[in-house]
Amino acid sequence: MSVEILDGATIVSFLEDEEAFSVSVRDRFAHLDSNHDGQLSYGEMLKELQGLRVMETHFGVDVETDPDELVRVYDSLFVQFDHDLNGTVDLEEFKAETRQMMLAMANGMGFLPVQMVLEEDSFLKKAVEWESAKLLASYSSCMAT
């Protein structure tokens, strides 16, 4: 984990770079697809869903949550990804829902910088790294002229 500063613009810019976003999604999907069948089962998605930590913290502190309630939340999130309701999530469904979730975060965050603790392999961390690389390249280009 690392502490990063980001805002909604960082997320939106990352999503607008179709190549960078697609590579990140494909890499994450491949990591989750443990049996390499091109589909994510509920079991394969569960770790990703748990990583969202949707109900397990209160102002950043872990709290005890009813296990049955967590199961219902994870079931609901899985269905949100499984657009065709066939019991698995394909790459396009994963990409589309990941984009929607990131846009919702960006909209909720707004354009004021926020300091956040990010998991190393999270999409938000990828967005911050993408923005940093872009700024460094821009700075390097300016210094060369």
pLDDT of residue 119: 82
Cβ–Cβ < 8 Å for 44, 32: yes
Within the chain, which residues score under 50 in pLDDT? 55
- Pairwise CA distance, residues 139 & 58, whole Å: 39
CB 118: neighbour CB atoms within 10 A?
A: 18
Burial 56-71 (b: 16+ CB within 10 A, else e): eeeeeeeeeeeeeeee
